[in-house]
Amino acid sequence: MEASVTWAGGPASLRFVALPELERIRALDAPPADRAAVFADACRLNVLYMIARAGSGHIGTSFSSIDVVSWLHLEVLGEGERYYSSKGHDAPGLYSVLIALGRLPFEKLEGLRRLGGLPGHPDVLSTPEVVTNTGSLGMGISKAKGFVLADRLAGRSGRVFVLTGDGELQEGQFWESLASAANRGLHEITAIVDHNRIQSDFWVADVSDLGDLQRKVEAFGWAVGRCDGNDPHSLGPTLAGLERGAPDRPKLLIADTLKGAGVSFMEPHGLPPGGDELYAYHSGAPSPDEYARAVEEIEERLTRRLESLGVSPLALEAAEAPGRSAPRSPQRLVPAYGEALAELADAEPRLVALDADLLLDTGLVPFRKRHPERFFECGIAEQDMVSQAAAMALTGLLPAVHSFGCFLSTRPNEQIYNQCTEGTKVIYAGSLVGLAPGGPGHSHQSVRDISALGAMPGMSLLEPASEHEARLCLEWAVRDAPGSVYIRLVSVPWDLGFDPPRAERLVPGRGEIVRAGADALLVGAGPVLLSQAYAAAERLAPRGVDCMIIALPWLRDVDGGWLAEKAAGAPIFCLDNHYASGGQGDAVAAALAAQDALPVGPVRRLAVDRVPECGTNDEVLHAHGLDAAGIAARVEAAMPARVQPVA
Amino acid sequence: MEASVTWAGGPASLRFVALPELERIRALDAPPADRAAVFADACRLNVLYMIARAGSGHIGTSFSSIDVVSWLHLEVLGEGERYYSSKGHDAPGLYSVLIALGRLPFEKLEGLRRLGGLPGHPDVLSTPEVVTNTGSLGMGISKAKGFVLADRLAGRSGRVFVLTGDGELQEGQFWESLASAANRGLHEITAIVDHNRIQSDFWVADVSDLGDLQRKVEAFGWAVGRCDGNDPHSLGPTLAGLERGAPDRPKLLIADTLKGAGVSFMEPHGLPPGGDELYAYHSGAPSPDEYARAVEEIEERLTRRLESLGVSPLALEAAEAPGRSAPRSPQRLVPAYGEALAELADAEPRLVALDADLLLDTGLVPFRKRHPERFFECGIAEQDMVSQAAAMALTGLLPAVHSFGCFLSTRPNEQIYNQCTEGTKVIYAGSLVGLAPGGPGHSHQSVRDISALGAMPGMSLLEPASEHEARLCLEWAVRDAPGSVYIRLVSVPWDLGFDPPRAERLVPGRGEIVRAGADALLVGAGPVLLSQAYAAAERLAPRGVDCMIIALPWLRDVDGGWLAEKAAGAPIFCLDNHYASGGQGDAVAAALAAQDALPVGPVRRLAVDRVPECGTNDEVLHAHGLDAAGIAARVEAAMPARVQPVA
C-alpha cells in the first residue's frame, strides 16, 4: 500500500540514534554476531524515525531484512563487492545501515521521501551509494548476472549479494533469470530470499503459494541454503557454509524471517493464515502510540544486550514530529471505482475481477466480498494475470484487471496487445498514477502508462477527475465501450478546489468546462493537475488572463472539432500528469492539427519533463513546475502579446 | 527467421493431398496409432505445399509437432475441449490438420500467409477455428488457466491441451504460470512440450540450456510424463497414463521430437551441437529441389504404410508453383546495421552485444565472429536480457540489445524504463518492424513499438530509410547520443525507388528532402512507406499536386521550426508504418502545433488504422491504404481546394 498516511504528531517526540552512538556500536569489542544484532536494532530505531518523519515507508520488510543487511555490511562485503535489494521497498533499512556505517551523510536521516533526500525506492542518480534502481520486482538476479559478466570481461572479480522478497518470486523474471546463471557458473552471485511469508497485506501461501522453494531452485542448478534470517548467529555460518559448499555455482539462501521482526506487535503472530485480516505494517507510518511502544521495546532489548556485553545503554536523541496537513474534502477515486465495480457486477454477471497482490490499493475489497467466486487473486504475476484474463474474455466473460499503473501498463504490455488483437474486451484499471504520491519515487510514479498503452488497437483510455467521473468511466467501460479500456486512477485523496464535473454520462472524445474563460484554454485529466490548473487560473484572472479549463477524461480519441470550437483560437495548454511524449497532450495536439475548418492557436504542453522527483506531493509538483504557481507562470509567459486585459 | 524467401518456381509442380484422399485416411479401418501416423504424413505433404506456395513458413516445428497435433485431434479431443499451440509458428501444421478434418475450408490450403487466407500465426478473428492468438511466446499456460477458470465458473468442464516449444520455456511467463495451476488443482490442463531441442537456428542446449526439465516442472507441483512425440504408438499410452496417474493435478508431457521430423534431411542428424552451423529449416520455404525430395520421401513412406494396411497408395494432386518477384536493388538495413556494429566495436571497447535467440535476424553474426567475448546470447528471455544490459551499463559498458521490435519494445518494457531511470546508455535495436513482411501476421508486425518506447526518459528513437542511414543512426547512437537509443529496423530487403539519403551525419530532429515540391509535404521514416510516398508523388505530379518528401529518421524530438519552414504552410501528411496513435506523426503534429512563429497547414496522418492484415507485402500495404495508389488517393482527396494546378 503506497497511499500516504498521516502522522498525527501529537505530543510524542521522535527519537533517533546519533552517529557517535552508532560508531560506538560498530567499535564494540564483542562476538560479531552479537555486535551485528545490536547494530541492527539501532538501525531499526532509525528506520522508525525516518518513516515516522516521512509519514510513509515500509517498516515490515525493512525490519524483516535488516539483520541480513547489517550482517552483510558489517562482516561480509569487501571492496568492489555489491549488495542491493531487488524488491527495493526495504530501502529505509538499507539507508539506516548506510548512515550507521557513515556511508551516507547523517543528515539524510531527516530526508526519507523528501525532495533532495532519500527516495522511497533506491535510485542511483540521487544516491550514488545505491548499486542499482529497484522497486519494480524480479529484476535483481538478472542484474547480478550483468554485473558479474561485466566484471569478468574487465578482469575484475567480486561477489554480488541480492536480496529478494518471497512474494517477489511470483514474478516470472525471477525464474527466467535462474537458468543462465547456473549454465554460466556465475558463482559470484548469492541471492538471499527475505522469506517473511507475507506479501503486501496477506500471507504468500494464501495469495499464490511458492510450494517447495528449495526444491524448485535446486532444480535450476543453484545451491540452496536455509537459516534464521533474523539471527546473525545462524546467518553467518550458513552463508559461509553455502559459499564453501558450492564454489562453482550460484547460491540462494532462504532466510526465514518475520515481517516486522524486532517489534513483537509488528510481527504477524496473531495473523491467522487463510483469513481476511490484513498484516498492518507493510507500509505506512506507525501511529504515535505504536511508534512509542515500538521504540520502547527495541530500546529495552538494546539495553539488555549492551548490558550483557558489559557496556552502557544507548543514549537516544529527541526530535519533534513534523506536522502534516490532510486534504479537506478529497476525491477518493480508487474506493469510488471499487464500489462501482462491485455494484455493476450485480447487473453484469460476465464481470470478473483479477488482482496482482494489490487488493486494497486497487479498491477490490468490496468486489471480493460481494462476488467472491468471481474474484481471482493472481499474485505478483502481471503477465500471467493478463493472459488469464484474455482467455476468460474469449469465453465471453468481461474481466477487469488491476494493478498499479506503472506495472500494469508495462510488465504485461505484450500480453495486453495480444488480448487486444483478439477483439475481446478487458477493462484494465491502473491505480497510483501520476506524480503523486511523490514519496515512493519513480518506480511507482506512473507517468508513462498512457504512452505504453496508447496504441493498443481498439482500446479507449480514460482518466477521471472525480469520484463521480470514476464511476462514469467504469459504467462506460462496462456498458458502452466497443473494445478494451484503460482506466487511469490517481490513488492519493485529492482536493479539487472546484465543483467536480457532474455530467450524467461521458460523451466520447469530449470533456466538461469546469471554468469559463476566453484568453487561454487549459486541458487536462485527473484531479491532481486540474486542481492546480484551477488554482493557477484563479491567480491569473486578476492579471488579465482569463482561462477556460476543460476536464477531458479521454486520453486518446479526442474530439478535435469540439475542442477547437471551445478554444476559439485561443492558445491551448495541455496538462499531462505524464511525460509530454505520448501523453494526452499528443492526442490533443494531433486532433487539433488535423483541423482545417477552424483556426487553432498554438498548443503547448505542461508535462513531466524528466524522471520524476521523489518528495512530498507539494515538493514534487513544484519541482516539475506543475503546481499552481508553476502553471500560472508558464501560461502567462507563453501568452502571445495580443492577449491583454481588455479595458 | 521471418524474412520472406523466394520460391524460385522452376519446372516443378507442387503437389497436395485432396479432401477425398484425406477422408479416406480418416475412415481407415486400422489401429488408431497407425491411422494417425498416415494422417500426419498426409498433413506433412499439405504443409509443404502451403509453405512452398506462400514462400515462407515454419516447416521444422510444424513437422516436429504434427504427430502430436494429429493424435490429439483424431483420438483425444472431445466436444468443448481445446487445443492450441503456445508458440504459434507451427500454424501450418495445425491448419493442415484442421483442413484434413474438414474443419477449415479446403481452399484455404492455397491461402497461407495471404490476405483473406490463413495468417502466419494463429488469429481468432480471421480463423474462428483457432482457439486463441499466439506467436508471442510463453502465454499458453496462463491462457489455459483462464479457460479452465472461466469454464468452472460457468459450470462447464473440458480439458485444455497446450503445445509449447522447448526454447519457449526460456520465457519467464512459462514459469510464472506454473505455480497457480498447481495451487488451484487445474487438472484439466495438459501442456505438451514439443521437445525438438532446436530453437530458431541453434540447439537449445547451446543457447540457454533447459537443464533437467522434468525435475523443474515436477518441483512446481505438476505431473510430468515423457514419450517419443513423433510416434503415436508412444504418445497415446503415455498421455493416457499421465491422465490416469494425476487426476487432480495439471500435467506436462515432454514429447521428444525431431525438428523437421518425417523428412530425413530436414532432421538435424548432421548438425553438431556446440557449433556455428545453423539448422536450415526453421522457417522459410524449401528450394524446388528440397521440395521434390521431401515430397518423394514422405510419399514413399505413405505408400509403404498404406500397403501394410492393405490399401491403395495416395493419389496426389498437382498444381503450379506461383511466380514471385524479388526486389531489384534493395536496401538491406539489418546486415548494414550488423556490419557497422562489428566495425564500431573495434574503436569502442565498451560496446557489447546481447541477443535473444535471433542472432541471424538481428544482424549479429559479424559481431559475434569479430568480438566473441563481447557477445552474450541470452535466449528467449527479453526481460532477463535487458536487466543484464542495464547492469552492464552501470559498470561503464555500452550494451547493444537485440530482438524483433514487437518483442523488444513490449516484453521488457518495464526493464527498459528501469534502465533509463538510471541515466545510463543502452542501444536497443529492434528489427522486423512495420507492416512488411506481411506474412508472419500481427504478432510479428511491429506497429506499436514507437508508442511503447516513446516516453522513455532520455531515449532517442530513430528509424533509418537506407543502409547508409542505418550506419549513421548507429554511429550517432554510439558516439553522440546523450542517453539510450532505439533503432527501428525494417528487415525485409526493400527497393526505395529513389536515391537514398546521403548526409554525412544525422542532424538531431531534422531529415533530408528526398523530393522537392510545394503543394504538400509528406514526412516519414524507413524504406517501406518512403518508397510508397515517392511513387505516390510521381503519380500526383502530373495531376497538379507536387509533393515534397522528407525522410525524417527522428521518431521523437522533431525540430518543429525546421519542419514548418520546409512545409511553408502546405498541408502535411505524416506516414507511419505504425498505428497513428503514438507514432512519428504524433511527434510531428505536437512539434508543429507548438509553433506560433510560422503558419502551419493541417497535419494529417496516413498510418496503420487497425490490427495489421496478414498477406504478401503488396497485399498488406494495399489493404491498409499505404501503397503508392492509396497514399496518392488519400493525399489528393485531402488537398484543400486552393491547391490547383497552376495554368
Q: Round to whole Å and give the CA distance between A307 and A569.
A: 78
Res. A641 pLDDT band, cuts 50 70 90: low
Residues 6+ away with beta carbon under 8 Å from A44: A62, A63, A66, A96, A262, A263, A298
pLDDT digits (tens, 9 = 90+) for A519-540: 999 999 999 999 999 999 999 9
Of the listed ranges A148-157, B200-209, B477-486, the one predicted with least confidence: B200-209
Instruction: In whole angstroms, give the CA distance from residue A418 to residue A415.
Output: 5
Q: Which residue has the cell 521482526?
A: A261
Does residue A425 register a pLDDT over 90? yes
Q: Is B276 exposed, middle or buried (0-12, 13-18, 19+ CB in 10 A)?
A: exposed
**DSSP secondary structure code for residue B331 in this structure:** B
CB A600 within 8 A of CB A569: yes
Query: What is the spatial distance between Cα B76 and Cα B161, in angstroms, rounded to a whole number?
Result: 10
A589 vs B: CB within 8 A:
yes
Residue in chain A closest to B177 (alpha carbons) equals: A384
C-alpha dihedral (B580, B582, B585, B587), degrees to nearest 10: 170
Can you tell me the distance from the alpha carbon of B190 to that of A389, in angstroms, rounded to the nearest whole number?
19
- Dihedral of alpha carbons A572, A573, A578, A582, sign: positive
**Whether the Cβ atoms of residue A448 and residue A423 lie closer than 8 Å to each other:** no
Q: Exposed, middle or buried by CB within 10 Å (0-12, 13-18, 19+), for B25?
A: buried
Task: Kindly report, residue by residue over A180-227, the tens digit of the pLDDT.
Answer: 999 999 999 999 999 999 998 789 999 999 999 999 999 999 999 999
The three-state (H, E, C) secondary structure of B567-593, written as one string: HCCCCEEEEEEEECCCCHHHHHHHHHH
The cell for B629 is: 495508389
As given in the structure block, the three cell numbers for residue A515 are 471554468
Four-point Cα dihedral A383, A386, A387, A389, nearest 10: 160
Percentage above 90 pLDDT, chain A: 91
- Average pLDDT of chain A to the nearest whole number: 95
- Restricting to B residues 122-161, those with a Cβ less than 8 Å away from any Cβ of A are 123-125, 131-134, 136, 138-139, 142-147, 149-151, 153-154
Q: Which of A592-596, A639-643, B372-376 has the lowest mean pLDDT?
A: A639-643
Instruction: List the one residue out of A205, A210, A245 whose CA is nearest residue A225.
Output: A245
Residue A374 pLDDT: 98
Higher pLDDT, B8 or B388: B388
- Which of B139, B176, B442, B444 would best serve as a mutation to test chain A binding (most A beta carbons within 10 A)? B176
Q: List CB contacts (< 8 A) between B585 and chain A.
A: 590
Rounded CA gap, A639 and A342, in Å? 46
Cβ-based contacts of B418 with chain A (< 8 Å): 133-134, 136, 139, 443
Contact B463, B555 (CB under 8 A): yes
Whether the CB of B69 is below 8 Å from some CB of chain A: the reply is no
Within 13 Å of residue A89, how many CA atoms lie on the same side as its CB?
25
How far away is chain A from the Cα of B157, in angstroms, using its nearest Cα? 13
Cβ neighbourhood burial of B315 (10 Å; 0-12, 13-18, 19+): exposed
Q: Do A182 and B211 touch (CB under 8 A)?
A: yes
Residues 497-536 of A with CB under 8 A from B: none
Burial A152-174 (b: 16+ CB within 10 A, else e): ebeeeeebbbbbbbbbbbbbbbb
Residues on chain B touching A396 (C-beta within 8 angstroms):
150
Would you say A190 and A242 are in contact if contact means Cβ atoms under 8 Å apart?
A: yes
Asked whether the beta carbons of A45 and A298 are under 8 A apart, the reply is: yes
Q: Report the candidate in A392, A383, A483 with the shortest Cα–Cα distance to residue A375.
A: A392
Distance, C-alpha B554 to centroid of its chain:
24
Q: What type of residue sits at position B398? A: L
Which one is predicted more confidently, A5 or B123? B123
Hey, is the C-beta of B86 within 8 angstroms of any chain A C-beta? Answer: no
Q: Is B87 on the interface with A (CB under 8 A)?
A: no
Instruction: Please write the tens of the pLDDT for every residue from B294-334.
Output: 999 999 999 999 999 999 999 999 999 887 788 999 999 99
- Nearest CB partner across the interface for A454, out of B219, B378, B451: B451
Query: pLDDT tens, B205-231?
Result: 999 999 999 999 999 999 999 999 999
What secondary structure letter does DSSP report for B494? B
Q: What pLDDT is stored for residue B351 in this prediction?
A: 98
Please give the pLDDT value at position A6. 47
pLDDT tens-digit map of A322-379: 887 889 999 999 999 999 999 999 999 999 999 999 999 999 999 999 999 999 999 9
User: Per mean pLDDT, which range of B101-105, B456-460, B595-599, B625-629 is the poorest?
Assistant: B595-599
Instruction: Identify the pLDDT of residue B105.
Output: 98
Mean of the per-residue pLDDT values for chain B? 95
| Helices A382-394 + B172-183 axis angle, to 10 | 70
- Please determine, for residue B424, whether its predicted confidence score (pLDDT) is greater than 50: yes
Average pLDDT over residues B337-349: 98
CB B195 within 8 A of CB B224: no
Residue A12 — pLDDT band, cuts 50, 70, 90?
low
CA B147/CA B153 separation, integer angstroms: 10
ipTM here:
0.97
Judged by DSSP in three states, B374 sits in helix
Give the closest residue to B380 by CA, choosing from B628, B67, B630, B171. Answer: B171
- Give me the pLDDT at residue B12, please: 61
pLDDT band at A3 (very low <50, low <70, confident <90, very high): very low
Q: Torsion over CA of B123, B127, B130 and B132, rounded to 10 degrees?
A: 30
Mind listing the pLDDT tens digit for each residue in A99-126?
A: 999 999 999 999 999 999 999 999 999 9
The mean pLDDT of A31-49, rounded to a whole number, is: 98
- The fraction of chain A above a pLDDT of 70, given in percent, is 97
Which residues of chain B are within 8 Å of residue A388 when distances are taken between CB atoms? Answer: 142-143, 145-146, 149
Q: What is the DSSP letter of B400?
A: E
So what's the pLDDT on residue B325? 81
Residues B225-240 have a mean pLDDT of 98
d(CA A380, CA A207): 9
**What number is the average pLDDT over the span B1-22?**
68
Q: What is the pLDDT of residue B274?
A: 83
Residue B264: per-residue pLDDT: 97
| pLDDT at residue B201, as a whole number | 79
Please name the residue of chain A whose CA is at the shortest distance from the CA of residue B595. Answer: A602
| Chain A contact for B435 (CB, 8 A cutoff) | no
User: Exposed/middle/buried for A346, CB within 10 Å: 0-12, 13-18, 19+?
Assistant: exposed
Contacts of A387 in chain B (CB under 8 A): 139, 142-143, 146, 173, 177
What are A584-622's pLDDT values in tens digits? 999 999 999 888 777 788 899 999 999 999 999 999 999
Pairing type for strands B512-515 and B547-551 reads: antiparallel
Grid-cell match 495580443, residue found: A642
Phi first, then psi: give them for residue A512, nearest 5 degrees: -125, 140
* Predicted pLDDT of residue A290: 96
pLDDT the model gives residue B322: 83
